[in-house]
Chain A
Amino acid sequence: MMSKLRMIIGAMIAFLVLAGCGQSQPQSQPQHMLTVLAAASLTESFNELGTRFSQQHPDVHVQFDYQGSSTLAEQIKQGRAADVFASADTKNMDKVRDLVGTSETLATNKLTIVVPPGNPAKIASLADLAASGRTVVVCAPQVPCGSATQKVSQASGAQLKPVSEEDDVKSVLQKVVAGEADAGLVYVTDARAAGAQVQAVDFPEAAKAINTYPIATINAAPEKQLAAEFMAFVRGPVGREVLAKHGFGTP
């Protein structure tokens, strides 16, 4: 019993050490660390952009922290050291207005309906979500995707009666993926990132709530120059190409 346990632990340690070695092989020694705080919905596209940026700047390691925009804004207010902030809405960028440089529009996003594969509840429009008997999950009005949801429902006159108002868009997606909801309202980009796990049903009213993602360098950035370069990079041709690939609209 004991020796078996020891063997298992030994094997686990060996595995961890080997796995660690594989990752820590440095191609060149990064001398600069760029810290980018970005909205969770930018995860896939910014990871890709970070890799492309490092290819152009071999001495730079880009470190991302993806969280809810309001959480990141609060951290910046509390004095977190970072270089770039990309928010999922202008409201949270405005909260840190005094602490960042001029913000520029990075991308736009809009809502789409997601349903489980095969669309079991036969949902074809926003009005279908308001019909009784449908289990609908949306974002809480306090978070950006929720305020967009409010806007489209007001614009369309569809009275949504959600069974749950989640705190982030990925939780909405998860409930649809798990088959626990007939439909959910998420961003186009999240629907795309979920792949075949969900089906997207676009609706015209989504145009009434286009969400703008602003990006800015942080005044107290340790790497001010690099921060400006990174911002120009993600707003340039490469950035546009990558963001568009993930479903974002670009200015």
Chain B
Amino acid sequence: MPPVLWAPAVLALALVVLPVLGLLTRVDPARLPELLLSPAALDALWLSVITGLISTALALVLGGPLALVLARSRMRGLRVVRALVLLPLVLPPVVGGLALLYLLGRTGPIGQWLDAAGLRLPYTTTAVVLAQTFVAMPFLVVGLEGALRTAGGRYEQVAATLGAGPWLAFRRVTVPLLLPALGSSLVLTFARALGEFGATITFAGSLQGTTRTLPLAIYTTAQSDVDAAVAMSLLLVVVALLVIVVARPKAVEGQL
């Protein structure tokens, strides 16, 4: 590696790490326990973790098969589909929230129909899950699709020549091959769901215990009590770090 690349590398790291350290300097240790254990903070943390887990599961159940289709199918127009899947990554989150609202809200084409059936999505925890899944699922799809392409389809073909049906080959060959990439993609998806803000506040609103996840609580609290908001931010940073550092399987390092 050319030594000259060290300088930008260190700068890049500093750009990510220093602001978070800056946050730490604002923390008031005396008030920290009281702020972290406040009902508002605990409700928000609990809601964030639960919805984040459900969103990640949903992303796996729906996004996993989508990744398989993108990697293996020879359908025409697949490039367009792939671009569409990436859209939530580049859209401003508020746009995602508005899009969900105008589709599934009371006056939306699908929402109207749901409303008639007595089902309302905005302002519910389900809306939070949908917003998080919308924003986080591309991470899973992209991660898995890349792994599938790298792995290629030869093992499945061999399995087929040995008499395995598509479902058996998928379970016994494709899934085990994907496991490392699956682990890292799931962690990334969960982390993104945990940090989701814009789509949630636009589509689901913000109410303690129902829709106010940790990022929303931080924003609302910052309007009146910066210390409490900093304490909650710290909570989010710690949870995110736990997820990334601890939950991420060691074998996965370097796979992402």
Contacts and interface: CB of A to CB of B under 8 A. Distances in A.
B221 interface: yes
A74 B226 contact: yes
B211 A164 contact: yes
B205 A164 contact: yes
Nearest to A179: B107
Given A166-B205, A180-B101, A143 B223 contact: yes
Best-buried of B208, B222, B224, B226 by chain A (most CB within 10 Å): B224
B122 A180 contact: yes
Interface stretch (A34-42, A134-142, A212-220, A225-233): A134-142
B52 interface: no
A165 interface: yes
Given A74-B226, A163-B123, A166-B205, A178 B107 contact: yes
Overall SS of chain B's interface: loop
Q: How large is the interface on B (under 10, 10 to 19, 20 to 34, 35 or more residues)?
A: 20 to 34
A180 B107 contact: yes
A227 to B, nearest CB: 26
Contacts of B223: 68, 70-71, 140, 142-143, 167
Interface string A162-173: 111111000100
B206 interface: yes
A70 B222 CA distance: 8
A201 B55 CA distance: 40
A110 interface: no
Interface of B: 101-102, 105-107, 122-123, 201, 204-208, 211-212, 219-226
A167 B101 contact: no
Contacts of B212: 165
Given A163-B123, A179-B106, 16 more contacts: A70-B222, A70-B223, A135-B123, A137-B205, A140-B206, A142-B221, A142-B223, A142-B224, A162-B207, A163-B207, A165-B205, A166-B205, A167-B220, A178-B105, A180-B105, A180-B106
Given A166-B206, A175-B205, A178-B102, A140 B107 contact: no
Interface string A130-154: 0000010100101100000000000
21 contacts: A70-B223, A135-B123, A140-B206, A140-B220, A140-B223, A143-B223, A143-B224, A163-B205, A163-B207, A164-B206, A164-B207, A165-B207, A165-B212, A166-B201, A166-B205, A167-B219, A167-B220, A171-B201, A178-B101, A179-B105, A179-B107
Interface residues of A, number: 20
A129 B85 CA distance: 41
Interface string A49-74: 00000000000000000001011001
A164 B221 contact: no
Contacts of B122: 163, 180
A88 to B, nearest CB: 11
Nearest to B124: A163
A165 B101 contact: no
Nearest to A144: B223
B220 A164 contact: no
Contacts of A164: 123, 204-207, 211
Given A74-B226, A180-B106, A142 B220 contact: yes
A165 B224 CA distance: 14
B216 to A, nearest CB: 8
Contacts of B102: 178
Contacts of B123: 135, 163-164
A180 B225 CA distance: 30
A171 B122 CA distance: 14
Nearest to A147: B224
A175 B123 CA distance: 11
Contacts of A140: 206, 220, 223
Contacts of A171: 201
Nearest to B216: A167
B107 to A, nearest CB: 4
Contacts of A135: 123
